[in-house]
């Protein structure tokens, strides 16, 4: 049976979650289609790079050593994991776009150009939510760059060209067509992939997907594969998304996403009937966050949002993407259906604050263990009952756990609630970070008490 591969498209000892990226430009007429793509490849190949990474990790034995100090095996030694991906140069200043999962948690990043010259790279910033990252190398003389295209103009059947370093074979070119648009493969909250049948394999992660004009319409990110190899179903983050994220990371080192403050669910036929509406299209407002833009605009639980800034909303995913893509502080107009009557509502888009966005330089091996690997937020009020929490329980909610992080390796899970850290009650993410910093300075594990599905347990996480 085929499935969405969540193995990295990068080679080495590590497998990770594959994610998203793409782009495109105006439709290409039959007269513009070349007999072959050699001219485009010759022009763009120097702008495509291979990316090699190293990650210093600690074995689980490190925690065992702490719990069993008289063990005769001796101290555990750090391990080095190596991986390979692809990327492409987007400016003569040396900025390179790739996938987040190619470089996440790396202690060393190097770029290999098509002429085999290598260069150390600095991490400018990364966005786990879209799997996009930006690197920086020292500019080279006459550096070849790529140009972004318009992914929204791409139609199924249009030519696509992938260039990358599958299995370490640098400068590999494959050609296919755009198979579909707006694919949601359940890899993240902002899934909107382009699908292509151009052959994509491990090591292609972060490489460009070109149109027939040689413009980047996407960033190759994921594949469907029962065996780990290509079967002609690959996914790329569209350039509409990748370019916006990359530009923000280059400009500010961080990502801003729009926020309207509603919890949503799909409109089922029975819900539509109960609400007195004739269609299941739209996103149902299950709850409105106090003080949010939605509350200030008068939205209520039970409203169905059917349009956002002039675009039809088919379901929850459409509205999530539309709101996130709006610039914080901008005005947005949405159409709500309340009791069978539609009304336009204007609101001012807020800024989402609960995204995990990692920025900054690549850490040295000594600093590699400083990240705990958790994305934290206050406990969502609407989730308390589902989490099995007793009334009055305070703590911090774990939204995401980064793969291969200290938190993941010691068993913490999304949905856990951290009640205390080092026997100190915690009520906000900064409390957890303070205790983690203390534990690292003291070179000892941090002790969490967590609530998981109505049960209390302790988890010790050792700094790596």
Catalytic residue, candidates 101, 191, 375, 420: 101
Catalytic residue among 105, 131, 191, 303: 131
Phi, psi of 332 (to 5 degrees): -135, 145
Dihedral sign, CA of 115, 119, 125, 127?
Answer: positive
Rounded-to-integer distance, Cα 355 and Cα 373, Å: 13
| Angstrom distance (rounded) from CA 170 to CA 256 | 34
Name, in order, each residue with C-beta under 8 angstroms of 130's C-beta and a sequence gap of 6 or more.
19, 20, 21, 100, 188, 190, 237, 241, 242, 245
Distances (CA, A) of 140 to 46, 94, 134: 12, 8, 17
Beta bridge partners of 448: 421, 459
CB of 283 closer than 8 Å to CB of 305: yes
Of 151, 205, 375, 464, the active-site residue reads 205
Whether residue 241 contacts residue 182, with contact meaning beta carbons closer than 8 Å, is answered with no
165 is catalytic: no
Spell out a b/e string for 179-211, using b for 16 or more CB atoms within 10 Å of the CB, else e: bebebebebbebbbbbbbbbbbbbbbbbbbbbb
Helix, strand, coil percentages, rounded to 5, for the chain: 20, 35, 45
Torsion from C-alpha of 27, 32, 33, 34, nearest 10 degrees: -150
Residue 49 CB neighbours (<10 A) = 30
Active site residue 317: no
CA angle at residue 169 from 167 to 172, to 5 degrees?
110
User: How far, in Å, CA of 103 to CA of 362, rounded?
Assistant: 9
Is 244 part of the annotated catalytic residue set? no
Residue 139 token pair = 């500019």
Q: Residues with catalytic annotation?
A: 101, 131, 205
């Amino acid at each position: 049976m085929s499935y969405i591969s969540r193995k990295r498209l990068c080679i080495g000892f590590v497998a990770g979650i594959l994610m998203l990226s793409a782009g495109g430009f105006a439709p290409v007429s039959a007269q513009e289609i070349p007999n072959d793509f050699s001219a485009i490849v010759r022009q763009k190949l120097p702008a495509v790079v291979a990316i090699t990474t190293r990650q210093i990790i600690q074995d689980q034995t490190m925690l065992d050593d702490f719990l069993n100090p008289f063990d005769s095996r001796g101290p555990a030694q750090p391990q080095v994991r190596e991986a390979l991906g692809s990327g492409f140069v987007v400016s003569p200043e040396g900025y390179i776009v790739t996938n987040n999962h190619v470089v996440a948690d790396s202690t060393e990043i190097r770029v290999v150009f098509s002429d085999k010259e290598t260069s150390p790279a600095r991490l400018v910033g990364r966005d786990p939510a879209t799997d996009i990252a930006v690197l920086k190398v020292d500019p080279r003389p006459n550096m070849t760059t790529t140009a972004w295209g318009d992914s929204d103009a791409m139609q199924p059947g249009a030519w696509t060209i992938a260039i990358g370093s599958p299995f370490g074979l640098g400068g590999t070119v494959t050609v296919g067509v755009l198979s579909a648009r707006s694919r949601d493969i359940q890899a993240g909250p902002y899934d909107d992939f382009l699908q292509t049948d151009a052959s994509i394999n491990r090591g292609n992660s972060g490489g460009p997907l070109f149109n027939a004009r040689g413009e980047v319409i996407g960033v190759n990110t994921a594949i469907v594969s029962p065996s780990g190899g290509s079967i002609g179903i690959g996914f790329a983050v569209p350039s509409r998304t990748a370019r916006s994220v990359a530009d923000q990371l280059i400009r500010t080192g961080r990502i801003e996403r729009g926020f309207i403050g509603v919890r949503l669910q799909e409109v089922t036929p029975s819900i539509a009937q109960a609400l007195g509406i004739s269609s299941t299209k739209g996103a149902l407002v299950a709850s409105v966050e106090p003080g949010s833009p939605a509350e200030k605009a008068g939205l209520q639980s039970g409203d169905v949002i059917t349009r956002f800034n002039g675009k039809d909303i088919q379901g929850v995913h459409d509205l999530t993407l539309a709101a996130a893509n709006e610039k914080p502080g901008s005005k947005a107009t949405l159409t709500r259906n309340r009791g069978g009557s539609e009304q336009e509502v204007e609101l001012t888009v807020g800024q989402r604050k609960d995204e995990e966005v990692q920025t900054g330089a690549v850490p040295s091996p000594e600093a590699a263990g400083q990240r705990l690997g958790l994305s934290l937020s206050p406990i969502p009020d609407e989730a308390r009952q589902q989490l099995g929490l007793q009334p009055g329980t305070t703590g911090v909610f774990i939204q995401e756990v980064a793969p291969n992080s200290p938190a993941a390796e010691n068993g913490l899970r999304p949905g856990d609630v951290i009640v205390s850290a080092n026997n100190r009650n915690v009520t906000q993410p900064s409390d957890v970070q303070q205790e983690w910093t203390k534990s690292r300075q003291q070179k000892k594990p941090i002790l969490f008490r967590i609530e998981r599905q109505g049960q209390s347990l302790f988890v010790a996480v050792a700094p790596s």
